[in-house]
C-alpha cells in the first residue's frame, strides 16, 4: 500500500484528487512532523512511500513550476536512491530528474541555496524527503519547484505557516516588522501559484496508479 507524506494541507488536497484511497500524512513543514507522519503511514500499513509537494530551487536553471521526480535524496551526507519502478509510476519519464536535498531547517537565502547546490548538485531542497528515504521502504519523490534559487525568501515564510496552513497572525506580525518584504511575498505567491498549476497539469497528464 502506498503512503504519502506532504508538507501542507494544500498539497495534500491536490494529491488526494488523484489518489483518493491512499493515506496521506502531513509534516506541517517541520522535521518532527515529518517523522511523526512517516510513523503514522507505516503503522497504517504502508509498504511504499511518496514524498509529495513543493520544493525550494537550488539550481539556477530550475525555475518555479519545474516538476521533479527525483532519482536520489541527499540525507545526512548520504545519497539514497529512489525506487525506479515507483518513480516510473509517478511520471519519471516526463519530469526533470536529479537529486533532492533534505534539510531540517528552512533554506532561506540565495547564498545558502548556491552553496548547497555547489556542494551536492541537488536540484531542489525540501523538509520531508530525507525522512521518507530513511524509512527503509521503496519510495519515490514527486516535487514541484515553488521559488527561485537566486532570491532570498521573505522573512514571513518562517512565521506564516502553522498546522499545515497559512497562519494569519504570524504573517501579519512579520509584515509589521518587515514591511519592505511585501513585494517579495507577492512574487513568491505568484511562483507558488505557478507551481500548483504545473503540478496539477502534470498529474492530469500522467495520472499515477496507486
Residue partners of 64: CB distance under 8 A and separation at least 6: 57, 145, 146, 147, 148, 191, 192, 194, 195
Mean pLDDT of the chain: 88
CA distances (Å), 27 to each of 60, 92, 146, in order?
27, 24, 17
Going from the N-terminus, what domains does the chain have, and what CATH number goes with each? 2-152+187-205 (3.40.50.1580)
Please state which of the ranges 23-37, 108-122, 128-142, 163-177 shows the lowest mean pLDDT: 163-177
Q: What does the pLDDT look like over 60-69, one tens digit per residue? A: 999 999 999 9
Q: What does the pLDDT look like over 168-207, one tens digit per residue? A: 454 445 555 666 667 666 787 788 889 999 999 999 999 9
pLDDT at residue 12, rounded to an integer: 93
For residue 22, what is its C-alpha cell? 491512499
How far apart, in whole angstroms, are the C-alpha atoms of residue 158 and residue 105? 10
Amino acid at each position: 500500500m502506498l503512503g504519502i507524506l506532504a508538507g501542507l494541507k494544500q498539497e495534500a488536497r491536490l494529491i488526494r484528487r488523484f489518489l483518493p484511497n491512499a493515506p496521506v500524512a502531513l509534516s506541517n513543514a517541520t522535521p518532527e512532523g515529518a517523522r511523526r507522519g512517516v510513523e503514522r503511514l507505516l503503522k497504517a500499513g504502508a509498504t511504499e512511500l511518496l514524498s509529495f509537494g513543493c520544493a525550494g530551487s537550488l539550481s539556477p536553471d530550475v525555475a518555479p513550476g519545474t516538476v521533479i521526480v527525483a532519482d536520489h535524496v541527499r540525507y545526512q551526507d548520504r545519497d539514497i536512491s529512489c525506487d525506479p519502478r515507483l518513480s516510473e509510476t509517478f511520471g519519471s519519464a516526463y519530469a526533470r530528474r536529479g537529486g533532492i536535498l533534505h534539510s531540517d531547517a528552512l533554506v532561506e537565502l540565495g547564498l545558502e541555496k548556491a552553496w548547497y547546490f555547489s556542494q551536492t548538485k541537488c536540484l531542489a531542497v525540501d523538509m520531508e524527503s530525507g525522512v521518507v528515504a530513511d524509512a527503509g521502504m521503496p519510495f519515490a519523490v514527486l516535487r514541484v519547484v515553488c521559488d527561485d534559487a537566486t532570491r532570498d525568501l521573505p522573512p514571513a515564510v518562517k512565521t506564516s505557516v502553522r498546522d499545515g496552513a497559512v497562519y494569519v497572525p504570524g504573517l501579519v506580525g512579520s509584515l509589521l516588522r518587515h514591511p519592505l518584504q511585501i513585494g517579495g511575498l507577492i512574487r513568491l505567491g505568484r511562483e507558488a501559484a505557478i507551481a500548483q498549476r504545473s503540478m496539477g497539469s502534470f498529474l492530469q497528464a500522467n495520472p499515477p496508479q496507486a
